[in-house]
Amino acid sequence: MFNAINIDNNLKGFTLIELVIVLSIFAILASAAVSAYVGIANKVLRVQEDLTMNSLQKGALLYYA
């Protein structure tokens, strides 16, 4: 009766440790990508603010000239 159940002990697959290691590597790469994106976004905002201030300065010079 117990021989009717075929249990294969040679199944191929990933162990829990391997999956945890891969997920932690993905998490590290994702955090680096998010950090780089935030840095680029901040730089874009600074450039946009500089352009706005230059436009306001030029407009004021033309208005009061």
Kindly state whether residue 38 falls inside one of the protein's structural domains: yes
Q: In angstroms, rounded to a whole number, what is the distance separating the alpha carbons of residues 31 and 35?
A: 6
Kindly state whether residue 33 falls inside one of the protein's structural domains: yes
pLDDT tens sequence across 11-65:
678 899 999 999 999 999 999 999 999 999 999 999 999 999 999 999 999 999 8
Q: How many domains does the chain have?
A: 1
2, pLDDT greater than 80: no
pLDDT confidence of residue 14: 85
* CA-based R_g, the chain, Å: 30
Kindly state whether residue 53 falls inside one of the protein's structural domains: yes
Kindly state whether residue 8 falls inside one of the protein's structural domains: no
Range of 47's domain? 26-65
Alpha helices in 1-65 (DSSP H): 16-64
One-letter amino acid identity for 4? Answer: A
Kindly state whether residue 45 falls inside one of the protein's structural domains: yes
pTM here?
0.56
